[in-house]
Amino acid sequence: MTKSIWQISLVLLALSMHSARADNLLLGIAEGVAEQSSFADLQDKYKPLTDYLGRVLNAKVNLESSQNIKSAILNLKKARYDLMFCRPSNVAAVGIRDDKYQLVAMAKGNFTADFIVRKDHPFKKNEDILNHTIAMPGQSSLMAKVGLATLRDMGGKPDAKHMRVTRYQEAVNFMVENKFADVGIVAPLQSKLWVKSGGVLLFKSRPLPFWSIIAAPKVSKSDVAKMQKALIDMENSEEGKKILAKIGVKGWVAGDPKEYVDMLNWIGD
C-alpha cells in the first residue's frame, strides 16, 4: 500500500512539474549586435509580442533579450528557451537543424547581403569586385558569411589583405564613402540608406529565409499551430498591427524549415 501511495505521489509530482513548465514559458530574443539596442529597449520592444503569445497559449510567457549571438545559440542547445524570436536567421537555422526546434512562423520578406559601391565605380560585371578592397561586418556574422559564400560562388575568395572588417554595418557605408574600401557588404536597410544618399547597389546575394519564431521540441504541435495562426492573423487586427510595427516585422508566414537548413549548408556553417 505504501509503495502504491509513493508511486501515485511521483506521478502527481511529475504532472505538477509538467504543468508548471507548460504555464511558464521563456521567450528568448536574439537581435545581434548590429541593432545596437540596450537590454531595456529590447525588453520594451518585445513585451507586447510576449503578452500576445501568452494570451494565445493561456500561459505566462517571460521575456529575455540579448544581442550576444553565441549566448543565444548556447541557450538553444541547453533547451533553455521554450520560444525564440531570432534575428539573424542563422540562429534559428542552427536551432532547427541541431536542436530540433520547430519553426512557428517566418517574418515576411527575405534576407540578402547587398553589395554597395560608389557611384563612380569602375565595375562592368559583378565578378570585377573580386580583386578590390571589400568592407564587411565581422566574419562571424551572418552578413559576412552570406557575402563570402556569394563571392565563392562567383569564383573567387578575397585575399585577406583586401578585406576590411568592422563591427557595425554603418561603418561599412562610411568606409566605402571615404574610399577605405571599394565595395561594402551590408544588410538591405543599410543599402537603402546608401542608395538614398547617392550610392549604388551593385547586386544582391541570393534570397534567404528571414527572421523567425521557433519553439522547443517539448512545445506541443497544437500550441505551435495556435501560435502560427495567431501570428499570421496579426495583420488583421489593430493590436496585431501595432505589435508588428513595434518589432519591425511586416507580417508572418508559415515558412519552411528546410530553407533554414539549406542556408547553413550553403554558407558552410
- Write down the domain spans for the chain: 2-110+209-267, 114-204
The tens digit of pLDDT for each residue in 247-258 reads: 999 999 999 999
Please say if the pLDDT value at position 225 is more than 70.
yes
Nearest 10 degrees: Cα torsion 159, 115, 172, 175: 70
Q: How many helices (H) and strands (E) does the chain have?
A: 10, 11
Q: How far apart are CA 116 and CA 135, in angstroms?
A: 10
C-alpha cell at 128: 570585377
Burial class (CB in 10 A: 0-12, 13-18, 19+), 194: buried
Angstrom distances, CA of residue 56 to CA of 25, 48, 66, 221? 12, 12, 24, 14
Q: How far apart are CA 169 and CA 191, in angstroms?
A: 10
The tens digit of pLDDT for each residue in 101-143 reads: 999 999 999 999 999 999 999 999 999 998 899 999 987 889 9
Please say if the pLDDT value at position 199 is more than 80.
yes
Assess if CATH 3.40.630.10 describes domain 2-110+209-267.
Answer: no
pLDDT of 69: 80
Are 251 and 232 contacting, i.e. CB atoms less than 8 angstroms apart?
A: yes
Q: Between helices 257-267 and 89-99, what is the axis angle to 10°? A: 100
Assess if CATH 1.25.40.20 describes domain 114-204.
Answer: no
H or E element in which residue 66 lies: strand 60-66
- Is 2-110+209-267's fold the same as 114-204's? yes
Q: In what order do the strands lie in the sheet with 102-107?
A: 60-66, 24-30, 83-86, 212-215, 102-107, 252-253
Residue with the larger pLDDT of the pair 202 and 36: 202
